[in-house]
A and B are shown apart, each in its own frame.
Chain A
Amino acid sequence: EIVLTQSPATLSLSPGERATLSCRASQSVSSYLAWYQQKPGQAPRLLIYDASNRATGIPARFSGSGSGTDFTLTISSLEPEDFAVYYCQQRSKFGQGTKLEIK
């Protein structure tokens, strides 16, 4: 059974800064990994699929990288609307989430 571990649990940054979120799989998942953003009171939104492909309508400041067991979601310059919880996912498994909060 694949386990996804996200780090850090909470990330405190200011608008304009660069955010780097990590997701580690307990065994290789090739490039079959997605990232979602969830804001309070809203459903999750697909950001990245296949580790590095942006979903439709996702701004270019969001990028994904990695393969095998180590993956990264990078937000190049934080906008106020980017502060949310981010989840990685591999098929039926989700990571526990990283909360990106305003510093």
Chain B
Amino acid sequence: EVQLVESGGGLVQPGRSLRLSCAASGFTFDDYAMHWVRQAPGKGLEWVSGISWNSGSIGYADSVKGRFTISRDNAKNSLYLQMNSLRAEDTALYYCAKDDDYSSSSYYFDYWGQGTLVTVSS
């Protein structure tokens, strides 16, 4: 059974940093691209960042470019999101999502975690 479990969310002041983690199990982690998608309270979905299976291809939404860094550790079956210079508008539930394409990236997200809440407020 595929499982994605996010952690690391919490309340943080504007301008500070936070690191999210996603622990994956139930599939061959290093075969698939992975993504972070967020959802502000009461709002829609926003893709944040994605990383290919071998970290060779990485992308970011314009809203987080230069502030967030995605990474993965295939030996630990883990995905990360380092978030710096946080703003109030980064407040959201952050989901880890698995790409459905083997060894490539289709941007179709077939499995999602339950999310970790990040609240940016003073």
Contacts and interface: CB of A to CB of B under 8 A. Distances in A.
A62 interface: no
Interface string A45-62: 110011000011000000
Nearest to A50: B108
A43 B44 contact: no
Interface in A6-55: 32, 34, 36, 38, 43-46, 49-50, 55
Nearest to A56: B110
B110 A55 contact: yes
B45 interface: yes
Contact of A89 (B50, B100, B107, B114): B107
Nearest to A38: B45
A3 to B, nearest CB: 13
Contacts of A34: 107-109
B37 to A, nearest CB: 8
Contacts of A46: 100, 108-110
Contact of B107 (A38, A87, A91): A91
Given A93-B47, A94-B44, A97-B44, A43 B95 contact: yes
Given A43-B112, A49-B108, 19 more contacts: A36-B45, A38-B45, A43-B115, A44-B37, A46-B100, A46-B108, A46-B109, A46-B110, A50-B108, A55-B100, A56-B110, A87-B45, A89-B107, A91-B47, A91-B107, A93-B47, A94-B44, A94-B45, A95-B44
